């Protein structure tokens, strides 16, 4: 959960270089497996980014108007992501999901939305129904302060459950605008789709003239350069992005087929705007980050070290007698303190969260920083070395035997 490091443990970060996180209150250094909630893939490039930002700031930090750098990053995103023919930059993943939902409703002239239990699409009112991330971590019900009318058109189904999705379409014929999903769930912990799931969801939306939205704020440029949609070979109608495309600065984006995106003002009637959207600082950091990811071998390296990390942690846990399961795709991973398998949020909730809390605290004592929740995925970076991976596995082995 974002912010939980300071709220729950009273440790404040003051520095983030290479693959380590510096703590102010402990005067300690931690090996970081969270990567600023998956914004960072290559932390060593920060030195280059910082130098570029210093130059960009001399020309201005925000113009309240389109800038050249926005076009440069837009062209990179369009070239990389299969579904995106046009793109609109915003300032966060939440904004991206707000914009894409309004767009889907405008294009289809329908109002109902299907989301999946435990998936998190930001803190906008329509999405805070059976949500993941901090909502799941704190065990909150649907958030207070959200009017009933704001979520009335939000329908939910368990992830990986095609029958439930088909029933929702049957019960709401001609009323569903879109399905939005994390193609690999990261906000209930790491949950991969079953082999046929994404293909079938794509087919169901087409049969019902609804739109398919991939929320790739987490998976975009993480599973592959073209995101989860390139990795799985599934092209949605619309996509949301964030995190990595800003290289650690506040950013978000949504894009998709030209005929849909031309509904967005000023080209079309659906209004959405933001003063700081596409600002030159975020665009600069994003451009440098994506350039680094284009280098040969980047994703192969992430897959190799992440696979070694997850397998090492699972083996150590099982040797110590703990029920565990987990997995990874490229630089994204997760594990649960339950026998598994975990296919959806209900399965994830069978995990021993008290044991995870002890594991988390134990790993901090060993100098390794994981997300402070059983219901968050983990992430590696190109800065993590083989020695870092082995250090983490050795630390986990010690902690598993203690708890």
Q: Which residues are catalytic?
A: 120, 215, 243
User: Listing from the earlier edge strand, what are the strands of the sheet with 20-23?
Assistant: 13-17, 20-23, 28-32, 368-369
Number of other residues whose CB lies within 10 A of the CB of residue 83: 22
Whole-angstrom distance, CA of residue 223 vs CA of residue 185: 12
Q: Cα–Cα distance between 140 and 145 in angstroms, integer?
A: 13
Could you give the C-alpha distances from 86 to 89, 177, 182, 362, 376, in angstroms and in order? 10, 20, 21, 46, 31
d(CA 249, CA 243): 8
Helix axis angle, 68-80 to 280-293, nearest 10° = 30
Tokens representing 260 are: 């849909």
Tracing tokens 């070694």 back to the chain, one arrives at 308
Using CA atoms, how far apart are residues 250 and 242, in angstroms rounded to an integer?
8
Radius of gyration from C-alpha coordinates of the chain: 21
Return all residues near 303 (Cβ < 8 A) that are at least 6 apart. 328, 329, 330, 331
> Which helix (H) or strand (E) element contains residue 256?
strand 252-256
The H-assigned helical ranges of 172-255 are 197-207, 227-232
Q: Are 122 and 93 in contact (CB under 8 A)?
A: yes
- Segment holding 389, helix H or strand E: helix 386-402
């Amino acid at each position: 959960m974002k912010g939980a490091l300071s709220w729950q443990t009273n440790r404040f970060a003051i520095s983030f270089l290479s693959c380590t996180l510096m703590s102010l209150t402990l005067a300690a250094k931690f090996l970081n497996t969270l990567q600023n909630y998956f914004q960072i893939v290559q932390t060593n490039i920060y030195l280059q980014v910082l130098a570029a930002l210093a130059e960009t700031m001399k020309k201005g930090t925000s113009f309240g108007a389109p800038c050249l750098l926005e076009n440069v990053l837009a062209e990179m995103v369009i070239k990389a992501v299969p579904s995106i023919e046009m793109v609109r930059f915003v300032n966060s993943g939440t904004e991206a999901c707000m914009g894409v939902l309004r767009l889907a409703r405008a294009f289809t002239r329908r109002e109902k939305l299907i989301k999946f239990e435990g998936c998190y699409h930001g803190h906008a009112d329509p999405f805070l129904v059976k949500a993941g991330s901090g909502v799941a971590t704190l065990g909150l019900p649907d958030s207070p302060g959200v009017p009933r009318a704001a979520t009335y058109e939000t329908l939910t189904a368990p992830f990986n459950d095609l029958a439930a999705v088909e029933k929702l379409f049957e019960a709401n014929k001609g009323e569903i605008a879109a399905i939005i999903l994390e193609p690999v769930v990261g906000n209930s912990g790491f949950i991969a789709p079953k082999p046929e799931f994404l293909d079938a969801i794509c087919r169901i939306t087409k049969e019902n003239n609804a739109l398919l939205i991939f929320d790739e704020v987490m998976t975009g440029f993480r599973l592959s350069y073209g995101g989860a949609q390139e990795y799985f070979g599934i092209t949605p109608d619309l996509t949301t992005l964030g995190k990595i495309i800003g290289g650690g600065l506040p950013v978000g984006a949504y894009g998709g087929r030209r005929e849909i995106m031309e509904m967005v003002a000023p080209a079309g009637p659906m209004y959405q705007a933001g003063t700081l959207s596409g600002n030159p600082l975020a665009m600069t950091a994003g451009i440098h980050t994506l350039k680094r990811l284009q280098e040969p071998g980047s994703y192969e390296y992430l897959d190799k070290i992440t696979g070694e990390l997850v397998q090492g942690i699972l083996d150590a846990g099982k040797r110590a007698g703990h029920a565990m399961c987990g997995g990874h795709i490229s630089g994204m991973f997760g594990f649960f303190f339950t026998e598994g398998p975990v296919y959806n949020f209900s399965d994830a909730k069978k995990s021993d969260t008290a044991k995870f809390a002890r594991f988390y605290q134990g790993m901090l004592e060993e100098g390794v920083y994981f997300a402070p929740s059983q219901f968050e995925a983990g992430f590696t970076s190109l800065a993590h070395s083989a020695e870092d991976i082995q250090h983490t596995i050795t630390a986990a082995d010690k902690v598993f035997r203690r708890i």
